[in-house]
Amino acid sequence: MLDKTGREYVRAKMPMIGFGTFQVSTEQDIYATIDAALSAGYRFIDSAQDPKYNNEHHIGKVLKELLPKYNLKREEIFITTKLRVENQGYEKAEKSILESLQKLQTDYVDLLLIHFPGCNRNDPNDPRNPVARRESWEVLEKLYKEKKLRSIGVSNYQISHLEELLGHATVLPAVNQCEYHPYYYTKDLVKYCESKDIHFQAYSSFGSECKKEALLSDPKIAALAKKYGTNVTNFLLAWALSQGISVLPRSRNPAHVKENLKALDIKVSPEDIEAARADNQTKFLWDPTKF
């Protein structure tokens, strides 16, 4: 499909709730959690090249074993992975994405995201950052046109990064995956993505590690969850889902994996979406705003 400027945009069919695998790194844990996820009804798995995931190879092996168990075909599963910060730039990006396909034991991934707008974690003023972003996107477009990537997008991009990307992209980003929850409510970014037909996807729906306990024990959130007859974690997922934002909960507990899907049945009112917001917004640790 083409947008009104003649650029192509992707419309892949992606479930609204996916199974996150951040820090689920052993083959044993990947097998147990994906087994539980597929049994519960998940059809969307989110991974990344980053060492804090370190599980693409396990996911590829485990899916070869588990898909037949549930009478599923590869095309019934939506797989996302992400280009590592250190792999940005034309040659490294292409090489690493092809390696990801090998690790995942698949001819294509459904969604490939640039994980972070900078190629240097420590220096936001590094002049290589915008060059690496552009070269990496050129690689994603190339592999998209070769059908190795069914859709392409970005993660942690702010409005300035998206405007830069839209200035040269011939294929529009399908997704922008960012941290989003009542303690970090980036309404302007969400509205910008909506205006550009970019789907906004939330990670860390229960809060980043430094704020997780505070969010899960927030009395205001607990009261709202009680109002909707649910628990805090399902309310937080429903809070995003009710805004048209997809989510990627992660759990090693099979009962929690199944429980999280109930969030799809909860509709939070616009008034309660606003009511859940924390007055003092807290930025996440991996801050992309200056790159």
Are residues 203 and 20 in contact, defined by beta-carbon separation less than 8 angstroms?
yes
Which are the catalytic amino acids?
Answer: 53
CA distances for 126 relative to 16, 29, 132, 185, angstroms? 36, 38, 10, 28
Distance CA(49)–CA(40), nearest Å, equals 26
- Going across the sheet that includes 175-179, the strands are 19-20, 44-46, 78-83, 111-114, 152-155, 175-179, 199-203, 246-247
Give the Cα-Cα-Cα angle 10, 2, 168 (nearest 5 degrees).
Answer: 80
Q: Is 267 helix (H, G, I), strand (E, B) or coil?
A: coil
CA distances for 107 relative to 69, 126, 260, 268, angstroms? 21, 35, 30, 39
Residues 209-232 as b or e (16 or more Cβ within 10 Å = b) = eebeeebeebeebeebbeebebbb
Two tokens at 286?
Answer: 């991996």
Residue 115, marked binder: yes
Distance CA(254)–CA(260), nearest Å, equals 10
Name beta bridge partners: 203. Answer: 179
Distance CA(140)–CA(134), nearest Å, equals 10
Phi, psi of 258 (to 5 degrees): -70, -40
Type of residue numbered 75: E
Annotated binding site: 115
Annotated binding site for substrate: 115
